[in-house]
Amino acid sequence: MSRVVKLAVIPGDGIGPEVIAEAEKVLAAVTAESDVTFDKTRFSLGAARYLETGDTLTDDDLAAIASHDAILLGAVGGVPGDPRLKDANIERGLLLKLRFTLDHYVNLRPSRLYPGFSGPLSTPGEIDFVVVREGTEGPYVGNGGAIRVGTTHEVANETSVNTAYGVERVARFAFAQAQKRRKKLTLVHKTNVLVHAGGLWQRIVNEVATEYPEVAVDYLHVDAVTIFLVTNPSRFDVIVTDNLFGDILTDLAGAVTGGIGLAASGNINPDGAFPSMFEPVHGSAPDIAGKQLADPTAAIGSIALLLDHLGLEAEAARVIRAIEADVAARGDAKRSTSEIGDAISSRVLA
Amino acid sequence: MSRVVKLAVIPGDGIGPEVIAEAEKVLAAVTAESDVTFDKTRFSLGAARYLETGDTLTDDDLAAIASHDAILLGAVGGVPGDPRLKDANIERGLLLKLRFTLDHYVNLRPSRLYPGFSGPLSTPGEIDFVVVREGTEGPYVGNGGAIRVGTTHEVANETSVNTAYGVERVARFAFAQAQKRRKKLTLVHKTNVLVHAGGLWQRIVNEVATEYPEVAVDYLHVDAVTIFLVTNPSRFDVIVTDNLFGDILTDLAGAVTGGIGLAASGNINPDGAFPSMFEPVHGSAPDIAGKQLADPTAAIGSIALLLDHLGLEAEAARVIRAIEADVAARGDAKRSTSEIGDAISSRVLA
Ligand SMILES: CC(C)[C@H](C(=O)O)[C@@H](O)C(=O)O
Ligand SMILES: CC(C)[C@H](C(=O)O)[C@@H](O)C(=O)O
């Protein structure tokens, strides 16, 4: 009995199309002899599309994308400072709109220092943790505003919105991850300053913790976490945190594990009410686009997260093993984007 | 003609009193033969005082402190999780109350990798930058609230308030710093998500930039900065950023330059309307308190910032040189808090 997965592919801008091509190569390789078929629809979205048509993400786009089982996204965003993009906010209008509309309340970002790979830390130790970042609340909600804009009396506010409903569902997901892993969960916030939001996060995590007696829970302020991520990253197993802190910490986590060229992520709706979306953590890097300079490993790692999300654990594991083997064999020789994709594909097929 | 500086000393909790004792030692040494006298008043404030009297910072305390020329603070905060402190928020009620009431709109945090000192990065390069963190606005204003607290329908909000007035004065300070240094200023924010606050910061920085044609200005998102701080910290000269981003980035900066045992800071009111306050970036670390295990270098570095602020540049430079020499000579031998203070004092006197 064969299974068909409808996959929306959004290559996007800059290096997006290049890394997505390699991710698709690996996806094809890993499913070559399986009974799963990926039925792909390509969506041309991003800064390039905006410049051509003035559209960022129409209701029709959204409806079409939402009718798929999952989404694979490369990266979106134009050249920084491009005057023609002055009034476009591709991040808010496209990426965040997808995450919010498709209720991607879990932003799952694993961080691993691959065996044999040396990152920027002189004594990194073992690094293997996952950040469960809330994806639909916090300072990302867009509930800000300004008065007297452009004057010396301007006041610009941003409001972080946090609900028991929103925090509980992401906390529950994080505890379930911890239960499957090393059974340790760290709540990260800034409870001593953001007392209302922080208090809510702390209360809910304490409550959900009673359902997971085997999971050890601790709490750290976000500033302290940045210290531990460079001095003792091994201390982390699962981190659960809000949208903004998660954004900041996962870039740092990417850096200490060898660069965001390796960092994969999933924007997940665990309820299955909407398709989940898988994307590398990195951006569109227009400065190196079209030159086959980008590392597609993060995009390929996102394929593993996609497969895992679809319940195809064996296939996901094969992709991860192929990435591990490739990374371990990396020397100083520069390879092109497609050479890396080819190498990982052949390891998947081997 | 001798000058008398009225100094309020708040040793605080945990390791605070230990590191402040060494800072005072160095202050005495560096002013031993000068015509400046420090007339000190000690204030017993912090978790210990709260537990004894129930007071955090009274109006009388505030008035008394405000009548001084400057403040030296160790660290405040009790043992995390102490049930008797459940309803005390020493950070908000004492530290932030001082910063806000005394209008410390510049939180100045220099980051240097001292010559001969190896931090956690395998190839750190030269690190010498300063973070100018806004101190009286942003998500720290305490304009949050929650409804239906404790229920499954709780909503907890936090509002970040940013004003043209507030951003302009701190931007001006940051540009003046850049002008005196390597003439490079990096604005750090998250303009693609926090569009209103970010837009205000970007506009004001662009405007002030026209007064400093020699200063090169660039912009980075806060998440990207965490990457550069571990992969290429040399790229930074002056960073100007909001209260929360500054909090997060200066802990990370402390870590990459060898630990927050070395990180000094000043909470400055450049207008001189209120006394400025100098304190190590680290906290009260109750777990190692009273054991002479704390590194007083950050507190001693704060003395250098204090002297500099008072216009005593030569004295400040002597303290910095003494710290540099001590750090360069540090081997693996463990020294007590007072041994480090003694060593730096003798170098100041030498
Ligand atoms: C592009 C931007 C809106 C986005 C975010 O802040 O979430 C990115 O930094 C990320 O981490 O996916
Ligand atoms: C203790 C806390 C309120 C404080 C802050 O967040 O500013 C501290 O982290 C700092 O950096 O001085």
How is chain B split into domains, by residue range?
A: 1-104+268-350, 120-256
| Cα separation, A237 vs A251, whole angstroms | 17
**Secondary structure of B76-111 as H, E, C letters:** CCCCCCCHHHCCCCHHHHHHHHHHHHCCCCEEEEEE
Helix then strand then coil, in percent of chain A rounded to 5, is 45, 20, 35
Is B247 annotated in the active site?
Answer: yes
From its phi and psi, is residue B112 left (phi > 0), alpha (psi between -120 and 50) or beta? beta
Q: Which pair of structure tokens corresponds to residue B343? A: 């060593």
Fold: same for B1-104+268-350 and B120-256: yes
Tell if the CB–CB gap between A193 and B222 is shorter than 8 Å.
Answer: no
- Mean of pLDDT over chain B: 96
Is B223 annotated in the active site?
Answer: yes
Residues of chain B found within 8 Å of residue A203, distances taken between Cβ atoms = 150
Write down the pLDDT at residue A95: 96
Tell if the CB–CB gap between B195 and A244 is shorter than 8 Å.
Answer: no
Name the fold adopted by B1-104+268-350.
Isopropylmalate Dehydrogenase (3.40.718)
Write down the pLDDT at residue B85: 92
A291 touches chain B (CB under 8 A): no
* Pick from B146, B152, B255: CB nearest A226: B255
Tell if the CB–CB gap between B252 and A227 is shorter than 8 Å.
Answer: yes
* Pick from A120, A168, A247: CB nearest B223: A247
| Cα separation, A49 vs A84, whole angstroms | 12
Write down the pLDDT at residue B341: 98
How far is the CA of A185 from the CAs of A125, A218, A228, A336, in angstroms? 19, 6, 15, 38
B86 touches chain A (CB under 8 A): no
Write down the pLDDT at residue B332: 82
Q: Which CATH class is domain A1-104+273-350?
A: alpha beta
| Cα separation, B56 vs B51, whole angstroms | 9
Which ligand is nearest to the Cα of residue A192, counting in written order? 2
Instruction: Please say whether the beta carbons of A26 and A300 come within 8 A.
Output: yes
Residues of chain B found within 8 Å of residue A89, distances taken between Cβ atoms = 192, 195
Nearest residue on chain A to B247, alpha-carbon basis: A223
| Cα separation, B135 vs B138, whole angstroms | 8
pLDDT band at B196; cut points 50, 70, 90: very high
Question: Which residue in B157, B167, B245 has the most chain A C-beta atoms within 10 A of its own C-beta, making it the best mutation to test that interface?
Answer: B157
Helix (H, G, I), strand (E, B) or coil at B255: helix
Helix (H, G, I), strand (E, B) or coil at A250: helix
* pLDDT tens-digit profile, chain A (350 residues): 689 999 999 999 999 999 999 999 999 999 998 899 999 999 999 999 999 999 999 999 999 999 999 999 999 999 988 999 988 889 899 999 999 999 999 999 999 999 888 889 999 999 999 999 999 999 999 999 999 999 999 999 999 999 999 999 999 999 999 999 999 999 999 999 999 999 999 999 999 999 999 999 999 999 999 999 999 999 999 999 999 999 999 999 999 998 889 999 999 999 999 999 999 999 999 999 999 999 999 999 999 999 999 999 999 999 999 999 999 998 888 999 999 999 999 999 98
Higher pLDDT: B332 or A136? It is A136
Q: What is the pTM of this model?
A: 0.97
Is B97 annotated in the active site?
Answer: no
Rounded to an integer, the average pLDDT of B80-91 is 89
- Tell me the residue length of chain A: 350
Distance B280 CA to ligand 2 centre (A): 10
Catalytic residue among B140, B237, B242, B326: B140
Tell if the CB–CB gap between B156 and A165 is shorter than 8 Å.
Answer: no
Give the residues surrounding ligand 2 with Cβ less than 6 Å away: A 192-193, 223; B 91, 95-96, 247, 281
| Cα separation, A312 vs A317, whole angstroms | 9
Residue that is written with structure tokens 């204030």 in the block: B43
A168 touches chain B (CB under 8 A): yes
Is B35 annotated in the active site?
Answer: no
Supply the residue whose CA is at minimum distance from atom 6 of ligand 1: A247
Nearest-neighbour CA in chain A from B9: distance (Å): 23
DSSP, residue by residue, A135-156: -SSBGGG---EEESTTSTT-EE
Pairing of β B36-42 and β A128-134: unpaired
- Other C-beta atoms lying within 10 Å of the C-beta of residue B60: 9
Catalytic residue among B190, B237, B242, B308: B190
Select from A71, A90, A96 the residue to mutate for testing ligand 1; criterion: most ligand atoms less than 8 Å from CB.
A96
Helix (H, G, I), strand (E, B) or coil at A266: strand
Question: Which residue in A187, A192, A205 has the most chain B C-beta atoms within 10 A of its own C-beta, making it the best mutation to test that interface?
Answer: A192
What CATH architecture does domain A120-256 belong to? 3-Layer(aba) Sandwich (3.40)
Write down the pLDDT at residue A118: 82
pLDDT band at B177; cut points 50, 70, 90: very high
How far is the CA of A93 from the CAs of A56, A98, A159, B193, B217, in angstroms? 6, 8, 18, 10, 27
pLDDT band at B1; cut points 50, 70, 90: low
| Cα separation, B22 vs B348, whole angstroms | 13
Supply the residue whose CA is at minimum distance from atom 2 of ligand 1: A91
Residue that is written with structure tokens 């662009």 in the block: B206
Write down the pLDDT at residue B87: 85
